[in-house]
Amino acid sequence: MKRPHEHVDTAVVDLSIFASTCMCLTGFSTERKKELHKKIESLGGRFTRDLLTASTTHLIAERAEGAKFKEAKRCSNIEIVTPKWIEMCALIKEKVPTSNFYLVNSALDCNKGKVELSLQDTCDELLERIPANPMLSGCCFLLVGFSNKDWLGTNFNSLQQIHQNAKNDEELKFKQSLSKMIRRCMGTIYWDIHANITHVIVNEAEMKLSNALANFCSNHGNNPKTISPEWVIACLKSRRLQEEKDYPPQKRRIKTLKTKKKIPQSTTRQLDHFHGFFFQLCDSLQNAFTCNVMFKEDKVEKMIASFGGRILSREGIQLLRSSRDKSPECYVVNLSGPFNLEQCIRDDPLLNQITQHNLCTIIPVTVSWLQTCNKNKSLVEPAKLNMLFQPQPWPLRRIQGIKLKVAVTGFQGIERTGLSFVLLAIGANYTENMDNKNTHLICKEDMQQGPKFQKAMEWGLRIVKVQWLHHIMQNGYKKGCEHEFSLEKRNKDV
């Protein structure tokens, strides 16, 4: 059943985070191209229909194929990324690093300034920075091809035990690291034939082994997928399951992957400020009207995952039960409607378990808090600005019937950032710079003699306290509602 909400597109307005980029698209439908072109332009970027090797900075693609892709691979100045990079930049209102959005096994080897890492080194690097998560919780693996003794019987009914002895210490270490990554993502490994097997990871696909595997998979009840170890690595790099068919077993083991030089640890941590924290999304359907702001669940989940956070799950509850952390935290993000924490806990079985067993501290937050943390690259204390960062017992209202163009003055740091995201969420046009086309200036009361205040007076803008924004967040915008919160000496309708 479709919700009565209207989804609010919190697209970036008047920002130029792609100002120095020129992008080219390949492999998309006409409608999808139009959608991506619109986002690129709204973020201040340019696009070209032809791949101009001298000026193009990014090729946006979903598959490693086609003439444009092959040409871009030969150019050191062109990065090949998926469209999720554009969507993430639009979502958090900031140009994020491309490293997490490379087209796996394609863009990783197309640029200069890369070094070769062995599969072992790549596994070790991922184990250092990937937290425990349930990505592979539904997968059961069998590992073969790590030794010339590995083999499968040709008759499914008389399958013989698989020998898993590694040929040397290097191969044994790689197999152990691969197993650690699988368990880190809550996958299951079987060392013998089992009815639950869903994937067979093949290190070296020799002819005899390939034939035996084909026979094994076709007769197995789950029809397991045969994949190379790169599939696991690609899933962890992109933080989502990849298509198995894109990572078939290889006859000759690829010893290295091309990847970027290791980012210094201090820089890496900036992109994992949600690491170690759980998140649960709350969507109240009470008093749901089209005038209420409704954030899209999938976009919020992507924003959380991209910065190291984990969505609460049954596996997460088990982790909390076994955690040695004395004060773990779970953030409850309100997507829409009036917020009632007690009601959320009653309606959500996972939150109910957390409360009953006192597993962690529950902290209610808004989507604007998430966006501010991401832009600030650090956690922000929600209680410091509770009207912006903590959900309220009333729904966030969307501006209807009028276009407001709002600037602010006197606010700094996270408060200024939080105000900008709230304004965008309710449908206002937020601008960093003010001109005579603005309709409103939100002014801190001790900044009434500042240059923006003086210009706003000269241009006849409505100059209001921040409490005006709090008022329209709760009640919506109505003509003349500025009067009570005005910092000017006249009352002029917009």
Q: For residue 325, what is the domain's CATH number?
A: 3.40.50
Is 154's pLDDT higher than 70?
A: no
H-helix or E-strand spanning residue 117: strand 114-118
Whole-number pLDDT of residue 36: 92
Taking all residues of the chain, what is their mean pLDDT, rounded to a whole number? 79
Q: Which of 64-73, 163-172, 451-460 has the highest mean pLDDT?
A: 451-460
- Strand pairing report for 429-430 and 405-409: parallel
pLDDT, tens only, 63-106? 888 888 888 887 777 888 899 889 888 877 778 878 767 875 44
- Read off the pLDDT band of 6 (50, 70, 90): very low
Residues in the chain: 494
Domain boundary among 88, 112, 136: 112
The torsion angles phi and psi of 81, rounded to 5 degrees, stand at: -135, 165
Q: Which of 2-6, 326-330, 465-469 has the lowest mean pLDDT?
A: 2-6
Read off the pTM: 0.48
**180: its two tokens:** 């650690």
- Read off the pLDDT band of 121 (50, 70, 90): confident
Q: Check whether residue 306 and residue 379 sit in a common domain.
A: yes
Q: Which of 365, 452, 362, 366 is nearest to 406 (CA)?
A: 452
Residue 494 lies in a domain: no
Domain boundary among 362, 389, 416: 389
- For residue 249, the domain's CATH number is 3.40.50.10190
- Cα–Cα dist 165/82, whole Å: 39
Q: Which of 84-98, 214-228, 406-420 has the highest mean pLDDT?
A: 406-420
Mean pLDDT of the region 177-204: 88
Domain that holds residue 75: 22-112
Between 237 and 264, residue with greater pLDDT = 237
**407: its two tokens:** 């600037």
CA dihedral 319, 320, 323, 325 (to 10 degrees): 140
Q: Which of 247-256, 318-327, 337-346, 363-372 has the lowest mean pLDDT?
A: 247-256
Whole-number pLDDT of residue 428: 94
The torsion angles phi and psi of 211, rounded to 5 degrees, stand at: -65, -45
Structural domains counted in the chain: 4
Q: Check whether residue 154 and residue 248 sit in a common domain.
A: yes
- C-alpha distance from residue 241 to each of 208, 245, 400 (Å): 29, 12, 40
- Strand pairing report for 46-47 and 22-25: parallel
**136: its two tokens:** 């592979």
Strand order through the sheet with 405-409: 429-430, 405-409, 440-443, 462-464
Is 61's pLDDT higher than 60?
A: yes
Listed in sequence order, the residues at least 6 apart from 236 whose beta carbon sits closer than 8 Å to its beta carbon are 126, 130, 135, 181, 185
Residue 397 lies in a domain: no
Q: Check whether residue 97 and residue 155 sit in a common domain.
A: no
- Cα–Cα dist 380/386, whole Å: 11
